[in-house]
Amino acid sequence: MADYEPDCLFCRIAAGEIPSDRVFEDDTVVVFRDINPKAPTHLLAISRRHIPSAANLTDADGDLLAALFGAMRHVTEEAGLRGYRIVTNVGAEAGQSVFHLHFHLLAGRHMSWPPG
Ligand code: 5GP
Ligand code: ZN
């Protein structure tokens, strides 16, 4: 699998070919605002490298996951968020619509459980 897939929306967002409202980026990770927010704060954390979903992660991706969760911790601390939810959908059945690994970070309202 190539690191960059030209037909992938989030590869193109990571590359800056499609604009996004970025709140954090480094060599590995980009965090940007969801275009259709489901909470007052709704961010998406992605790797620059194309990985279709969490089902495609391997033992070699530990550093990548640490970078993703480190970036999310950084933005939540910066925004002073204490309670938030991190979600990743795997497969269309679970609600995944963009097939490039992303973590939703939702905050700013009460979160019910279980999710629908
Ligand atoms: P999924 O449904 O795959 O778990 O999440 C995909 C998310 O990407 C959705 O919440 C959707 O609103 C968001 N999204 C889709 N297209 C764009 C876009 O062009 N820009 C941004 N910022 N978010 C997008
Ligand atoms: Zn991609």
Q: Which atom of ligand 1 approaches the CA of 97 most closely?
A: 3
Distance 106 CA to ligand 2 centre (A): 22
Distance 115 CA to ligand 1 centre (A): 18
pLDDT at residue 116 in the model? 85
The residues facing 105 across adjacent strands are 43, 86
Report, as an integer, the average pLDDT of 69-76: 98
pLDDT at residue 60 in the model? 97
Report, as an integer, the average pLDDT of 66-93: 98
Taking only the tens place, the pLDDT of each residue in 86-107 is 999 999 999 999 999 999 999 9
Whether 100 is a known active-site residue: answer no
Picking from 2, 93, 85, 70, the residue whose alpha carbon sits closest to that of residue 40 is 85
Picking from 1, 3, 59, 67, the residue whose alpha carbon sits closest to that of residue 30 is 67
The torsion angles phi and psi of 55, rounded to 5 degrees, stand at: -70, -15
Question: What is the chain's mean pLDDT, rounded?
Answer: 97
Looking at the predicted structure, is the pLDDT value of residue 72 above 90?
yes
